[in-house]
């Protein structure tokens, strides 16, 4: 978060510098108020850029064998542009190397999933799950390694996670 703040300040300073150059070129006929306006627009443009490139940056840092199987897009009123181009605010990653097929029932697979959320702390959560390829169900395992049947998720038939692990 600290480096993001520093980069935002420098984006504002750079945009203010452009406004100063415009005033200099026009022999100070351009109004003084364009300097803070350019600074504010520069900082805002940088923040929008960071929000929309966050997912691509995080995806490029994933190790070999990690596959994005789901994304979450968000539209919020305080970012009106998100209604035209929703931004990705979270995604789920499958560790392909962690997939284990059940010996007695090959339609049940165990896997490790990671969840990344766009927050200033870069929150990451992970867990071990069972997927039933026949019934399209996803069940998390609790700390003892047993299925938590209270939180069974019914996945649609065309879910990318099921296509990857069952396909």
In the sheet where 137-140 sits, what is the strand order?
66-74, 87-101, 108-117, 124-132, 137-140, 153-154
In order along its 167 residues, the chain shows pLDDT tens digits of 788 899 999 999 999 999 999 999 999 999 999 999 999 999 999 999 998 999 999 999 999 999 999 999 999 898 888 899 999 999 999 999 999 988 888 889 999 999 999 876 667 888 999 999 889 999 999 888 888 888 889 988 788 998 888 87
Q: How many domains does the chain have?
A: 2
For 105, the domain range is 66-166
Residue ending a domain, among 60, 76, 110, is 60
pLDDT at 125: 86
Are 28 and 74 within one domain?
no
Regarding whether 145 and 99 lie in a shared domain, the answer is: yes
CA 125 – CA 12 distance, rounded (Å) = 34
Among 35, 60, 85, give the residue marking a domain's end. 60
pLDDT at 41: 97
Which are the contacts of 109, defined by CB distance < 8 A and separation ≥ 6?
99, 100, 101, 102, 130, 131, 133, 165, 166
Count CB atoms within 10 A of the CB of residue 36. 13
How far apart are alpha carbons 70 and 83 in whole angstroms?
20
């Amino acid at each position: 978060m600290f480096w993001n703040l520093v980069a935002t300040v420098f984006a504002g300073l750079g945009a203010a510098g452009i406004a100063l150059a415009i005033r200099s070129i026009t022999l100070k006929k351009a109004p003084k108020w364009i300097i803070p306006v350019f600074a504010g627009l520069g900082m805002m443009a940088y923040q929008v850029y960071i929000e929309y490139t966050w997912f691509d940056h995080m995806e490029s840092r994933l190790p070999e064998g990690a596959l994005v199987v789901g994304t979450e897009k968000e539209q919020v009123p305080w970012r009106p542009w998100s209604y035209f181009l929703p931004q990705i605010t979270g995604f789920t990653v499958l560790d392909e190397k962690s997939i284990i097929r059940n010996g007695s029932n090959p339609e049940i697979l165990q896997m490790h999933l990671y969840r990344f959320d766009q927050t200033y702390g870069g929150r990451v959560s992970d867990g071990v799950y069972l997927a039933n390829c026949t019934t399209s169900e996803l069940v998390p395992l609790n700390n003892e390694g047993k299925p938590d049947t209270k939180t069974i998720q019914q996945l649609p038939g065309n879910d990318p996670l099921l296509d990857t692990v069952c396909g």
